[in-house]
Amino acid sequence: MIITTTPFDSLLILKPRVFYDSRGYFFESFNLNTLKAHGLNYEFVQDNQSHSKYGVLRGLHFQKGEHAQSKLVRVLSGKILDVVVDLRIDSPTYLEHFSIELSSENFLQLLVPRGFAHGFVVLSETADVLYKCDNFYNVSSESGLVYNDPKLRIDWKLQASELIVNQKDLEYDLL
């Protein structure tokens, strides 16, 4: 597993070693000992999976307080633009965003620490996304940011007319 840093403290890109042969491929998508060897101590307790069609934008979501979640995000099929916003007040990248294309072809994973809002938009016909969480979902701690907040200036790579956004995600307050 190759672990690459980003300009955001503790936000990491993971790339597994993929073994190809005549049957297809094999790779280890998660190994707790590998993370620990890199000084990363996560105990993932919940997996979430979504299936979405082209243009679906999910996010920007986060859990507040003691229910905050770290996430390990990967794509099982298709391609997404994965976006995070740093909500850690003491961080030098506070309210800045980071985006990366994750796909079933590039095998990249994004390790998102607690303190980030997270979202993605589907760039392929469909996409299946799986992410591990290190804390259980708690409905009363659920919150989010409006995906098109002008202060964030996120380029979602699609035209606004192509986006399919849940009504609840449109009702979050602006920064």
Residues with active-site annotation: 61, 131
Cβ neighbour number for residue 120 with a 10 Å cutoff? 28
- 120 close to 85: Cβ distance less than 8 angstroms: no
Reply yes or no: is the peptide bond before residue 60 cis, omega within 30 of 0. Answer: yes
Instruction: Enter the DSSP assignment of 140.
Output: G
Cβ neighbour number for residue 114 with a 10 Å cutoff? 16
User: Which of helix, strand or coil describes residue 32?
Assistant: helix
Round to whole Å and give the CA distance between 133 and 150. Answer: 29
Rg from Cα positions in the chain: 16
